[in-house]
Amino acid sequence: MCRIMRKSALALLLGMLCAYGAKAQQPVQVSGQLKKSRSSTVRLFRVSEGAVYEMATSVPGKDGRFGFLFYPPYAGFYAIGTGEETFPDNNYKFYFRGGEKLSLLINDTSYVLAGNRNSKENILMTQWHDYAYVLENKSRFYSSSYKDFFPDLERISNGVNAFLKGKSSGNATFDRLMRDNIAWDLAGYACNFLLTPRPEHPATEQYIAYYKTMQATQFAKQTLHAYRQPWGKRILQQMASVNLRQLNIKYGGWKQSLSDNIKLIPNDTLKGDFVLYTGSMLKSIGDYNAMLTEYGQYLLTDSQQHQSRQLQAPLALFKEGEPALNFNYPDNNGKMVSLASLKGKVVLVDLWATWCGPCKFQIPYLKKLEKEMHGTDLEIVSITIDTEKDKEKWKDMIRQDTLGGIQLFAGVTGDIRSYYKVEGIPRFMLFDRQGRIINVNAPRPSDPALKELLLKALAENK
């Protein structure tokens, strides 16, 4: 994701007063105090198409006080917090339609309302947040196990009707929206728990009854329901992943995964969002174009087509046959090794780190591949992005696990990571004997397709 510009709260406020003044009779006034152990910028987010986007920022004063004054462009959910756009962590959801006054205190773990001028809608939002906080907390912190999370999920999901009984904001539209909002919150907590690292993961047979009711086919019937939720698309993608687990459908590469996912989504526009999500992870223009050929008909909106062009454009820079980055890093003995120094070899690069579980999972497969390809012109180069403080740990792992090939240390600031826009590891890349790109997002060693690609490259690049 590329951020073109950051706007100050004051500059954006002036723009919103002009642009949105006709849409809302009264501005929203937010006053707050940050009581975190570390000072942070407080951010105001709007919701668009199931994701959040920064509207304004406020830098707290010495006493921690911050504020926003804005005309809301729509009646619905907004978020305020110290977190990022991509994750809900440290961000809190509120409802505005114009004229509200919100006063809150943000601490290290949550928030509380202050004063007596908060709207009935946001009082109810906060009551729900407090009621379900144990789920939110456990779903994001890796120390919790399913043995303590599942009972809380069962208790709270079964208690929704009792929680809502007798509660009304006086705003019929919001009260209907609130029930839907609760369903999305529960699904988000339930999915995030299963899809983050844990000391122990449950088998699908151990999932509680709630998960049988949490089906992407139901949540994705209407675009509006996903699009009005902050992080709605993220929750829907997580939900589809959990549902595929429940159906015992395993990951079979991006093509099969995309096909499996969109079968769960009845709404064509939301299918298009899954296409874009898959496209955001592709690093080959060939793969991206192949995806569009098969699934491009689901990119129905102008926004989706614009996002697709933004994803597609950078991939053209990494086309097969183009010159590769000439990286140059020290090996575990301090000798500098560059891609240029390996001219004449077909080079398979493994970008990894010692702390990365999926990377370590690939090591036995990589060793097996190295043994099978012994005697060929293949050079396997493993490049770690570990921090400097973990350099000795990296060297110890090379010795203890008898890691083969060429072992290089790029560190966290290594240019190979930024050049190829690497957002996740392990990442495998293949270059020909002349230092040109073959594939900068090659299959992993656990995938038989990698060996086929290597044999083809060795045969064609003699």
pLDDT, tens digit, for every residue of 25-35?
799 999 999 99
Fold that domain 328-460 belongs to in CATH: Glutaredoxin (3.40.30)
What DSSP element (H or E) covers 442? strand 437-442
Q: Is the pLDDT of residue 70 over 80?
A: yes
How much is the average pLDDT of 368-385? 94
**How far is it, in rounded angstroms, from Cα 287 to Cα 320?**
11
- pLDDT score, position 316: 66
- pLDDT score, position 262: 96
Neighbours of 115 (CB within 10 A): 10
Tokens of 30: 């937010």
Q: pLDDT higher for 6 or 407?
A: 407
Closest CA to 343 of 390, 291, 379: 379
- pLDDT score, position 9: 41
How much is the average pLDDT of 255-278? 97
Closest CA to 229 of 177, 176, 303: 177
Domain limits of the chain?
1-117, 328-460
Residue % of the chain over a pLDDT of 90? 80
| pLDDT, tens digit (0-9, with 9 covering 90-100), for 176-197 | 999 999 999 999 999 999 999 8
Q: Is the pLDDT of residue 223 over 70?
A: yes
1-117 falls under which CATH superfamily? Carboxypeptidase-like, regulatory domain (2.60.40.1120)
Q: Is the pLDDT of residue 339 over 50?
A: yes
Q: What is the mean pLDDT of the chain?
A: 91
Phi, psi of 460 (to 5 degrees): -85, -20
| pLDDT, tens digit (0-9, with 9 covering 90-100), for 287-298 | 888 999 999 999
How much is the average pLDDT of 8-25? 44
Instruction: Give residue for tokens 């995030």.
Output: 192
Residue 309 binned pLDDT confidence (cut-offs 50, 70, 90): confident
Q: Is the pLDDT of residue 420 over 90?
A: no
**How far is it, in rounded angstroms, from Cα 52 to Cα 85?**
6
**How far is it, in rounded angstroms, from Cα 410 to Cα 414?**
5
Strands of 136-256 (E only): list them: none
Torsion over CA: 158, 161, 166, 172 (sign): positive
Neighbours of 398 (CB within 10 A): 17
**How far is it, in rounded angstroms, from Cα 301 to Cα 221?**
17
